């Protein structure tokens, strides 16, 4: 948890080294992921009840030729089993952070559990996102700015902050976190932007 806490404390620089965030899965899609396959594999899951606003399930499965190589899939479903987000992330770019000790299946499983933990970041709601001052090109967050999704306007950003919607952030690469915003009314979980940390 120390690595995730450090990552959250060192907020905000552009995610040059992390893989691109995959598009969210259709909200009506059923979760059908099977057991991971490979020389080393593991899985972990956790319940998520953000701001007491519904029940969700976060699951991670990983497999590859070694425990610190291969592919990890992170999936978020609602209590009806619909997939709100599913993304594949290469493990190798994260071996300087969350998967640094993943040398055995047991340690890979522990890393997956840490990876998906909603408490791994200190950003739990959109209210915690940095302000976007009038006249500025982007939100202000001191030394480490937050980079919103492409096309986000200042007005939309300020509305999002005021709505105080749940956020879920997780490591997506060697130097970045991906943050998703949950809209319980529409049943969607979509990328809102990235924050980075020294790799």
Mean pLDDT of the 164-181 span? 91
Please give the backbone phi and psi of residue 99, each rounded to the nearest 5 degrees, phi first: -105, 25
Rounded-to-10 torsion of CA 131, 121, 56, 58: 130
Structural domain that includes position 147: 2-196
Give the tens place of pLDDT for each residue, 68-103.
999 999 999 999 999 999 999 999 999 999 999 999
Number of domains making up the chain: 1
For residue 98, give both structure tokens. 């969350």
Is 6:197 a contact under the CB 8 Å cutoff?
yes
Residue 68 pairs with which residues in a beta bridge?
Answer: none
**For residues 80 and 56, what is the distance between their CA atoms, to the nearest angstrom?**
9
Is 198's pLDDT higher than 80?
no
Full DSSP string of the chain? -HHHHHHHHT-----SSSPPPPPPPPTT-B-------SSEEEEEEEEE-GGG---EEEEEEEEESSTTSSEEEEEEEETT-BEEEEEEEESGGGTTTTTTT--SHHHHHHHHHHHH-GGGSS--BGGGSPP--TT-SS---TTS--EEPTT--HHHHHHHHHHT-BEEEEE-SSSEEEEEEEETTTTEEEEEEEEE---
pLDDT tens, 139-170?
876 666 789 999 999 999 999 999 999 999 99
């Amino acid at each position: 948890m120390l690595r995730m806490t450090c990552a959250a404390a060192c907020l905000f620089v552009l995610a040059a080294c992390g893989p691109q965030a995959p598009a969210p899965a259709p909200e009506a899609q059923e979760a059908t992921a099977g057991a991971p396959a490979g020389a080393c594999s593991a899985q972990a899951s956790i319940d998520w009840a953000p701001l007491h606003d519904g029940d969700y399930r976060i699951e991670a499965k990983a497999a590859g030729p070694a425990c610190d190589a291969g592919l990890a899939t992170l999936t978020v479903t609602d209590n009806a089993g619909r997939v709100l987000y599913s993304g594949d992330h290469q493990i190798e770019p994260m071996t300087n952070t969350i998967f640094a000790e993943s040398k055995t299946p047991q340690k890979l499983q522990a890393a997956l559990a840490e990876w998906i933990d909603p408490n791994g970041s200190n950003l739990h709601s959109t209210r915690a996102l940095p302000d976007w001052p009038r006249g500025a090109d982007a939100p202000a967050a001191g030394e480490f700015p937050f980079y919103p999704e492409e096309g986000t306007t200042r007005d939309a950003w300020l509305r999002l902050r005021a709505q105080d919607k749940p956020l879920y952030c997780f490591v997506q690469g060697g130097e970045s976190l991906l943050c998703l915003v949950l809209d319980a009314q529409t049943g969607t979980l979509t990328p809102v932007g990235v924050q980075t940390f020294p790799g």
